[in-house]
Each structure stands twice: as C-alpha cells, then as structure tokens.
Amino acid sequence: MPLPVRLPPPVAAAAASILAAVDLRRYLYWNPRESTSMATSAHRNTASAAAVTLLVLSAKSPEDQQLLASSAGSISLDEGESGGGGVTVSLAPAAGVDAGFDAGAYMGALRARRFGRWMLWSPRMGSTHDLVSQNFAKLPVGVVCVADVQFKGRGRSKNVWESPPGCLMFSFTSQMSDARIGLNVDNEEPTTCLNAALRKVNADSPGLKQEDILASFFNKFEDLFEIFTNQGFKALEERYYNSWLHSGQRVIVQDVPEGEGQSVDSVVTIQTTSFQGLTPSGYLHAIGDDGKSCELHPDGNRGLIRRKFKA
C-alpha cells in the first residue's frame, strides 16, 4: 500500500491528474531501438468514430523488458466518470510507430536503478495518471507514463484542462500517496517555458530536450527519495529552503472566520526565520499581520485559503 506521505506542494508540481474516456484495444510490438521497446494501440469501440490511443512501452534492459511484457497484456483503462463499457486487450504484431518522444535517448541518459526504467509513452491520450493509478498493482514500481498531449486533465472540483505539445507531463508509480510532476519545456503560450527563458540568456542555445530532462529528474529523484523515505524531510529541509523563492513574500489569502460562512481577504507574510516556511504537513507556514501563525492551503477557484496552525 502507498505510504501516507505528502510532498510539500512546491516540490510536487502539478501534473497529470486526468480523466480518460476511451474504450481501448491494445496491440503489442517489438521496436529494435537502443532500448527495448514495444507498442500498444488502443481503439475506441464506438459506432461513430474510430479514435485511437497509442501506447509505446520501453524498458532499460532485457530483464526490465520481460517484467514489463508480463504485465502489458493486462493493462486496462476504465471509462471513469463519463461512463461506458470495459476494455478488450489483444496482443499482435504492429507496424513501426512514429514516436515523438525518443525512448532510446531517454533510456541512454537514465542512470536510476529503480525509477523510470519502464516507460509508457503516448502521442495523445486522455490520462497518464489514470492509466498508472488504475494499473498500479499490475505495473512495476517506478514505471513512468509520458504523453505529448493530454486532452482530459482533471483539476479540482472536476474542472477539465488540456496539456498542449511542448509540455513534459508524466506520472510515475512510487510508494507515496501524492506526487505529481509537470514541466513546460517548449510551449511559450500562454505564459512562458524553460526554453524561452534559456533563449533570453543565450540566444544560440540548442534548447532543452524533454528526454534529457526526464532522465535527469529520475537520476536525482531516486537519491532524494531514498533520503526522504529513510530519514524524513528534515534531512532535506535546509537544501529545500536554499532553493525556494517564497521567503518574505506577502500574499492575499481567503480567510473564513469560525462560525461565519462568508470569506474575507486578509494579508499574511510567509515566515522567514528558523526555516519555518513549511508546516509538518507540507503546507506554507505564514504569519498574519496580527502575529498569529496560519497554514495556507491551495484552492483552485479562490487562491490560498488560510487555516489556523499551532506550532
């Protein structure tokens, strides 16, 4: 069972928590690339349209390949909240797949021993998170699911969103209850992206590649994960605060006084001394203008919500 651990919100960047509404039929094939690869194509069984979801499964080594292949035939994806039928799985040879994500380059840069050694990639799918979470018991711990485009992102309060091309959106299995990641690598709309910031510093830069970023993430995450699970967040606290950007910032928060249903705006200042920026549960620790401590919780519709916190 996943451990009941919450990563601090600034660490666990929002990523793919998405609702898929497709009826799948999978086909498995072998891809002779540097890494061991296979593909699964999924077909929606409707009378009106033949929407197709393609999954490409890659592994770091032949041993990893065998482990992944043993579970590939049982992978399923439910219709979720939109309703619908089940999933029919079939394995058969398939033609070559035009993969936008270079599995060989990614696996070649990967040094992690546990995370990211098995990958499920799709050019377009409803959900990476749903596929991984619904098949958690069938997949090896550390498998990662990557999609170039996700079209049914599920946010708070059942809001739906899309992740456009150029964003590195992925979900992976771990012994944590809540850990999601998303990085805008090469899409400047509607705000900015990593490569846009890099070009401002060096116009001749070739730019960052999603494959290198994903491999680098797992290479570093694995070491941090071992420290976190064995020693807790305290062992990483100083390193975390050396990198964060929030100390001393003043923010507007929504405050709901006890016994009242109407929220009011107030101003708090994030604590800057003695590394008291986070509460033990991983939320922001702030000090109001009245000098009282509070805990800030995110709310997708209203911004930050202030709750009482006792140190």
Task: Domain ranges for the chain, please list them.
Answer: 25-236, 250-308
Cα(219)–Cα(306) distance, integer angstroms: 36
- The least confident of 41-55, 96-110, 148-162, 241-255 is 41-55
Kind and range of the H or E run holding 72: helix 62-72
From 20, 58, 52, select the one nearest 39 (Cα to Cα): 58
Cα(193)–Cα(168) distance, integer angstroms: 11
- The least confident of 10-14, 34-38, 56-60, 106-110 is 10-14
Instruction: Tell me if the pTM is above 0.85.
Output: no
pLDDT in tens, 2-20: 333 333 333 333 222 222 2
What average pLDDT does range 252-270 have in this prediction? 55
Q: Is the pLDDT of residue 218 over 90?
A: yes
pLDDT at 72: 64
Question: For residue 303, how far is the Cα from the chain centroid?
Answer: 21
A 10 A CB-CB count for 221 gives 19
* Residue pair 119/99 in contact by the 8 Å Cβ criterion: no
Q: Is the pLDDT of residue 171 over 70?
A: yes
Helical residues (DSSP H) of 185-248, grouped into ranges:
194-201, 210-231, 237-241
Query: Torsion over CA of 267, 270, 273 and 279, rounded to 10 degrees?
Result: 120
Tell me the helices (H) and strands (E) count for the chain, helix number first: 6, 16
Query: In degrees, to the nearest 5, what angle opens at C-alpha 162 toward C-alphas 160 and 167?
Result: 145
What average pLDDT does range 254-278 have in this prediction? 53
Third-level CATH fold of 25-236: BirA Bifunctional Protein; domain 2 (3.30.930)
